[in-house]
Amino acid sequence: MATSISEAQAARLKRFLAEEAKAEGFDIMAVTTPDAIPQAGARLRQYLASGHHGTMQWLEETLERRADPRVLWPEVRSVIMLAMNYGPESDPLPVLARRDRAAISVYAQNRDYHDIIKGKLKQIASRFAARAGSDVKVFVDTAPVMEKPLAEAAGIGWQGKHTNLVSRSHGSWLFLGSIFTTAEIAPDRPETDHCGSCRACLDICPTSAFPAPYQLDARRCISYLTIEHKGPIAPEFRKAMGNRIYGCDDCLAVCPWNKFAEAAHETKLKARDDLKAPRLETLLALDDTAFRALFSGSPVKRIGRDRFLRNVLIAAGNSGDAGLLPHVERLLGDPSPVVRGAAIWALSQLSEPRIFGEWRKKLTASERDVTVIDEWRMADCIIS
């Protein structure tokens, strides 16, 4: 049920929201209406029809709720969008040239932002509800809310050619969250597109994941491949991954609007020293317990040790460092097929044909997993 308030009350509530958002560390607060993104549903349906979402079936399952906030919550009358800057202290791209190190996406170099943002949203929403006498719900990323179109409608930024939100004041480094409320608050004006003729984000993509400006084929995106994709990485993308073991910042980092962004001020969003450029050698040695300890509270933990090591082994294969071979060889016998398969590829990239042949002869007779057998076959073609 909508909460009826006067224009003066609504204005005071909006000022209150802005003050509360600032106090909780948000950089931008703006308001839109639940019917502000009528085109979003058709665009999402087209995206799903193209198959560009890969294995992210949850996008299909939640389509109707994503397309219209009123399906998610019929009583909503205003959508409060909040953005928090997570800009890095320095350019994240130079680590890509340090092949003995791992590149972890900026957003994942400390605490899981879902937990941070949601906790702060709950604080704001609780105080707002008490002040306004209205109902509220909070959402962060994992909920079926199309945050980027709503943020654009609220005036926080626009969806750039890389499909991420871009802000004139904070570039491409923004976390988003939303508060739905039954209170009717005057909406802000939408932002317009300021990408112009720039295509830096499109041109830098290592895997050509953008079939056209403003379109992303997730199946080719390194962020999708290293985080969402559960099986072996397709051979065509392995070299392009380089040392990116969790996510990819390339298209974000080259955005010219980043020149207006400052480094993150929230302590829990600042990069941990041990996650800025960890050694591949250290990561290859992680068992499940050590993996969980290192990434406690981090979004990296959510993909699990096996997928993580798959990614690290691809980076090891791209490193050119034969000194990593003992770690790679140890993982050839790992219980996880996806780890064994990635270890085979890394072995094929780092070892001499004689060593590779010895391991192949030793292990293939007892291997039963078809994906791992395929890896031996494909690697044999590479090295022979």
Residues annotated within the binding site for cob(II)alamin are 66, 141, 165, 176, 223, 248-249
82 close to 21: Cβ distance less than 8 angstroms:
yes
214 close to 159: Cβ distance less than 8 angstroms:
yes
Q: Strands 174-181, 136-139: parallel, antiparallel or unpaired by DSSP?
A: antiparallel
Mark the binding-site residues for [4Fe-4S] cluster, compressed into ranges: 195, 198, 201, 205, 221, 248, 251, 255
Query: What are the residue ranges of helices labelled H in 141-196?
Result: 147-154
51 close to 8: Cβ distance less than 8 angstroms:
no
Q: How far apart are the first and last CA of the chain?
A: 70
Report how far apart, in Å, the C-alpha atoms of 316 and of each of 62, 266, 345, 358, 373 are.
37, 33, 10, 20, 21
By annotation, the residues acting in catalysis are 141
Q: Which helix (H) or strand (E) holds 139?
A: strand 136-139
Encoded tokens for 345: 């590829």
Distance of CA 249 to the CA centre of its chain: 9
Encoded tokens for 150: 């709503």
How many C-beta atoms surround the C-beta of residue 141 within 10 A?
A: 14
33 close to 78: Cβ distance less than 8 angstroms:
yes
Mark the binding-site residues, compressed into ranges: 66, 141, 165, 176, 195, 198, 201, 205, 221, 223, 230, 248-249, 251, 255
Q: What single letter denotes the amino acid at residue 82?
A: L
Sign of the torsion formed by the C-alpha atoms of 31, 109, 166 and 247: negative
